[in-house]
């Protein structure tokens, strides 16, 4: 009976006992610091792996595949850290109902923050990442033979160094090859890039979310005539659709003998 009177006074719920308050403070603060450290470790490991990637092509591929995912995961841990750190302090004025309301508001805020971060990484961040990728892709390669910068060949010049299969990949499967040549020794370095992994700027919403969804050959190329390829694009944000006609190179005449 005395315990019941101690817990409730005139129908008002009693605050949590001091031992619970102390336990919650230590637990919430520990979780907050731990999740913050995990976020920092994720970013640190990513940056170290990027730093030790050998060559601009390797860095390009690593950023393309891993950067957005690592940033999102680290951001989620930081949001969780904020949620626990903000709610670590409670005192005798808090009731169970008050704490429940505060936790609900904090979780709702955290979910909104995660959604905002996800939208930013999906719709805005590609503008920044594409600039870095272009710098890595078109930065002059150094020849292992002479130690001097090599020349990036044009689309017409590179054809003589790409076999028929490579040219077909470029035309049909949205694969792009860069050919670098050492002018002194003739050394050739060929790099392959997957064009379908990168989105274009949508003319309707201006976000970089216009992606290739389908390709169809309208006219097959022959040894005499060029062909036509139709590329179909769709924006993952506003749903805008677009088409682009691409000329396919004539097939190479196979040398006899």
Pair 183, 208 in one domain: no
Concatenating the DSSP letter of every residue in 219-236 gives: E---SSS-EEEEEEEEET
Residues 84, 122 within the same domain: yes
In a domain, 3, yes or no: no
CA atoms within 13 A on the CB side of 78: 14
In a domain, 204, yes or no: yes
User: Cα 95 to chain center, whole Å?
Assistant: 43
Nearest Cα residue to 71 out of 53, 47, 51, 49:
47
> What is the reported pLDDT for 172?
58
Q: Are residues 16 and 116 in the same domain?
A: yes
Domain that holds residue 72: 11-138
Least confident of 100-109, 131-140, 181-190: 100-109
Contact 231, 212 (CB under 8 A): yes
Q: How many domains does the chain have?
A: 3
Residue 176 belongs to some domain of the structure: yes
Q: Is residue 5 part of a domain?
A: no
**Residue 215: pLDDT above 80?**
no
Do 110 and 186 reside in the same domain of the chain?
A: no
Arithmetic mean of pLDDT, 141-153: 93
- pLDDT for residue 2 is more than 70: no
Q: Does residue 149 form part of some domain?
A: yes
Does 112 lie in the same domain as 57? Answer: yes
Same domain? 15 vs 101:
yes
Residue in this structure with the two tokens 């000329």, named with its chain if needed: 247
User: Which of 115-119, 141-145, 151-155, 191-195 has the weakest average pLDDT?
Assistant: 191-195
pLDDT at 112 over 90: yes
The terminus-to-terminus CA distance of the chain in angstroms comes to 106
Task: Decide which of 180, 195, 210 is a domain's last residue.
Answer: 195
86-111 average pLDDT score: 78
Say whether both 26 and 67 belong to one domain: yes
Banded pLDDT at 5 (limits 50, 70, 90): very low
Same domain membership, residue 124 and residue 18: yes
pLDDT in tens, 120-136: 998 888 888 888 998 99
Please check whether residues 88 and 188 belong to one and the same domain: no
- Note whether 234 and 248 are same-domain residues: yes
How distant is the alpha carbon of residue 71 from its chain centre? Answer: 8
Among candidate residues 138, 158, 178, the one where a domain is terminated: 138
pLDDT at 8 exceeding the cut of 50: no
Do 64 and 148 lie in one domain? The reply is no
Cα angle 26, 31, 32 (rounded to 5 degrees) comes to 100
Assigned domain for 257 exists = no
Write out pLDDT tens, residues 36-87: 999 999 999 999 999 999 889 999 999 999 999 999 999 999 999 999 998 8
Indicate whether 24 and 35 sit together in one domain.
Answer: yes
Domain containing residue 223: CATH number: 2.20.25
């Amino acid at each position: 009976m005395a315990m019941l009177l101690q817990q409730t006074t005139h129908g008002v719920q009693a605050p949590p006992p001091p031992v619970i308050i102390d336990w919650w403070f230590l637990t919430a603060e520990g979780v907050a610091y731990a999740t913050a450290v995990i976020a920092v470790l994720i970013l640190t490991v990513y940056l170290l792996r990027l730093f030790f990637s050998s060559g601009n092509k390797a860095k390009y591929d690593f950023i393309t595949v891993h950067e957005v995912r690592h940033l999102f995961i680290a951001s989620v841990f930081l949001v969780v850290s904020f949620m626990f750190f903000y709610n670590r302090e409670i005192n005798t004025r808090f009731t169970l109902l008050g704490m429940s309301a505060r936790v609900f508001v904090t979780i709702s805020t955290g979910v909104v923050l995660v959604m905002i971060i996800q939208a930013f990484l999906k719709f805005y961040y590609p503008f920044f990442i594409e600039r870095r990728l272009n710098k890595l892709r078109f930065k002059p390669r150094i020849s292992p033979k002479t130690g001097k910068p090599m020349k990036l060949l044009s689309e017409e010049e590179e054809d003589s160094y790409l076999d028929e299969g490579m040219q077909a990949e470029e035309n049909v499967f949205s694969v792009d090859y860069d050919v670098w040549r050492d002018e002194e020794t003739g050394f050739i370095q060929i790099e392959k890039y997957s064009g379908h992994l990168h989105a274009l700027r949508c003319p309707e919403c201006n976000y970089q979310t216009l992606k290739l969804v389908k390709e169809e050959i309208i006219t097959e190329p022959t040894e005499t005539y060029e062909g036509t390829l139709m590329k179909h694009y769709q924006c993952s944000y506003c749903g805008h659709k677009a088409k682009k006609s691409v000329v396919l190179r004539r097939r190479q005449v196979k040398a006899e003998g």
